[in-house]
A and B are shown apart, each in its own frame.
Chain A
Amino acid sequence: MRASLVNQLRVLVPVKRTIDYAVKIRVASDGKGVDQNVKFSMNPFDEIAVEEAVRLREKYKDAITKITVVSVGPPKTADVLRTALAMGADDAIHVEVPDKAAANPLEPLGVSKILNEIVKKAGEEEEVGLIIMGKQAIDDDASQTGQMLAGLLNWPQATYASKLEFPSGKPEKGAEAQVTREIDGGLGIVKTKLPFVMTTDLRLNEPRYASLPNIMKAKKKPFKKFTLKDLGLEDQIKPRQEILKVAEPPKRQGGAKVENVDELISKLKEAGRI
């Protein structure tokens, strides 16, 4: 019986498989989505979340018992979870949904309800004490899931975090955390107590690359799969929004070049901009 386990922390990191940030997306021919035959990878903000969890353990060693990554998505989402395991997470949970995500993507509300169930499910073996997730996914740009999950759990939230500290010592149940947040015009500092939901901003850290040996090791790490039926959510996660149309943004008439500064100034004056 390890008595110290009571105060130790399990960290949950939800991640999302999105179209790679460098891909120039194209609107699909049916006008209801975007072309999905492109490179996918882990949402960049979620990489930052995984990195932060791994750094917490490196910094506080035995304070963190387990880093669990979770993702909701079609079968290929497993790749993204493997990447997170290779970065240093311990186990993965894949909530698998049928492969028609492009036609009918899950909305943040649905995902937060699923994550809410996963927090309960994971708690059956070991309670989750901290959730770290990206501030937004670069596909739907919604920036909602972390806040929604915190609301459903009735946990505190610290969004757009660029720094996480534990002034009283180490991260353990009930410990105070200080989070620096990126707000309009500068930074805001808040204090809260574990457990809470934190969403990551770009400035939080620089995610590591997974090394080849770690990629190999990741293949052996525990990997659980659930369906919505397993979670008892089959009938509850219904889309609330119907996508009527997805269109290209209006094209800019760009590309005109000027020869020199004088021409630039005269054109700007002509346009009434200076």
Chain B
Amino acid sequence: MIATTMLPRVALRSACTACTARTALPLRRGFTTSRVDLANTLIFLEHKKGNFAAATLSALTAAQKLGGDIDALVVADEASASQVAEKAAKLPGLKKVLVAKHADFANNLSEPLAPLIKQIVESNSYTHVCTGHTAVGRDIFPRAAALLDSSQISDIIGLEGEDTFVRPIYAGNAIATLKSSDKVKVFTVRGTAFDAAAQEGGSATTEEVKPDSVESLTQFVEEKVSESSRPDLATAPRVVSGGRALKSADNFVKYIEPLADSLNAAVGASRAAVDAGYADNALQVGQTGKIIAPELYVAIGISGAIQHLAGMKDSKTIVAINKDADAPIFQVADLGLVADLYEAVPELLEKIK
């Protein structure tokens, strides 16, 4: 049983319609064709130590475009749950924040969380469930979707109606628009495709949800998160990336990092650089790494394979520095410099200062 305090959705609906009519507020709806009060969205708010993931805030923006009511689910261990819930209640456009606390919820494992999401969705008749397309969202949501018998829509970059979604396929080389006939639309949102919602201005109510069983089939051991004082790669407005041509981890530190620091940029890397051990896995930009869209992306010694372009080609301005004038990266670069990076990068660094 989910909390008995939760009202059936029908009651909430009618209450809401009544209050809207009374105050004559314009209904905030994303789509003129949609029927009033059709969308009823649950957003899973991903957080780490109380800080919301950037993609979660983008998912909230996407949810707002659906119109209708939006409730949020936050999960945490007993100690931190109320604090996170309080923070969540301030997010704009939320009606209600549902809080579920349990020691096993702290590490975002899918086995206890997918059934929780299913229970909450079914007992409240949500029509839409979303979160960011992050490692956490990608892990939990398909499991929850299967339990709900819903065909998930992953990594959406656009919404064209309450049932019509836009998403990239084939490493972003094609864009599909699809219409879902599922009763509950389960989708994950690409963080860079929607602006992050503000973290102030809302005043949602909070309500505890008590799951009656928590199934923990896996056990969290530890996390080894790369420590960095630089901006976060996923959200940094500027990124300097290095590829195979750097030749060594030392060169990565010597050439890429100082340039990144002088531009106040995050550091990225191609798969070749990561595989060769020049840079940490977490820095990989591409189809299988991070997908980013900064204001400025500087690709140094990166040829520009399809899989790499999938991760950065939505950047506002792309700069490429490469010795090979025929490298595919030059086909997408706004500014290309054919030069030896070992000369060009120090010169660039010197002249920027």
Interface of A is mostly: mixed
B135 contacts A184, C-beta separation under 8 Å: yes
Q: Fill in one digit per residue for B322-353: 1 if any A CB lies within 8 Å of its CB, else 0.
A: 00010000111111111100001001100110
| Set B145, B152, B174: member contacting A248, Cβ < 8 A | B174
A184 contacts B282, C-beta separation under 8 Å: yes
Residue of A nearest to B288 (CB): A202
Residue of A nearest to B134 (CB): A184
Contacts of A3 in B (CB 8 A): none
If A152-B146, A187-B224, A246-B175 touch, whether A109 touches B319 (CB-CB below 8 Å) is no
Q: Fill in one digit per residue for A142-159: 1 if any B CB lies within 8 Å of its CB, else 0.
A: 111111111110011111
B181 contacts A240, C-beta separation under 8 Å: yes
Q: Is A133 close to B, CB under 8 A?
A: no
Contacts of B280 in A (CB 8 A): 186
A140 contacts B169, C-beta separation under 8 Å: yes
A188 contacts B331, C-beta separation under 8 Å: no
Contacts of A138 in B (CB 8 A): 170-171, 287
Residue of B nearest to A242 (CB): B179
Q: Is A162 close to B, CB under 8 A?
A: yes
Q: Is A107 close to B, CB under 8 A?
A: yes
In the complex, A72 Cα to B144 Cα: how many Å? 23
| Set B110, B222, B225, B331: member contacting A147, Cβ < 8 A | B110
Q: Is B281 close to A, CB under 8 A?
A: yes
Interface centre among A112, A186, A201 (most CB of B within 10 A): A186
Q: How many residues on the A side are at the interface (Cβ–Cβ under 8 A)?
A: 82
| Set B153, B282, B287, B352: member contacting A274, Cβ < 8 A | B352
B218 contacts A190, C-beta separation under 8 Å: yes
Contacts of A265 in B (CB 8 A): 348, 351-352
In the complex, A151 Cα to B236 Cα: how many Å? 35
Q: Is A30 close to B, CB under 8 A?
A: no
In the complex, A202 Cα to B111 Cα: how many Å? 24
Q: Is A257 close to B, CB under 8 A?
A: yes
| Set B224, B313, B348: member contacting A252, Cβ < 8 A | B313
Contacts of A14 in B (CB 8 A): none
B176 contacts A243, C-beta separation under 8 Å: yes
If A242-B181, A252-B313, A265-B352 touch, whether A109 touches B146 (CB-CB below 8 Å) is yes
Distance in angstroms from B33 CB to nearest chain A CB is 14
Residues of B at under 8 Å CB distance from A? 53, 109-111, 114, 134-136, 138-147, 149-155, 164, 168-182, 217-226, 232, 234, 238, 263, 271, 275, 280-282, 287-288, 290, 295-296, 306-307, 313, 316-319, 325, 330-339, 344, 347-348, 351-352
Pairs A–B under 8 Å by Cβ, sample size 13? A19-B170, A22-B306, A142-B152, A148-B142, A157-B143, A160-B139, A184-B53, A189-B223, A246-B176, A256-B333, A257-B325, A261-B344, A273-B296
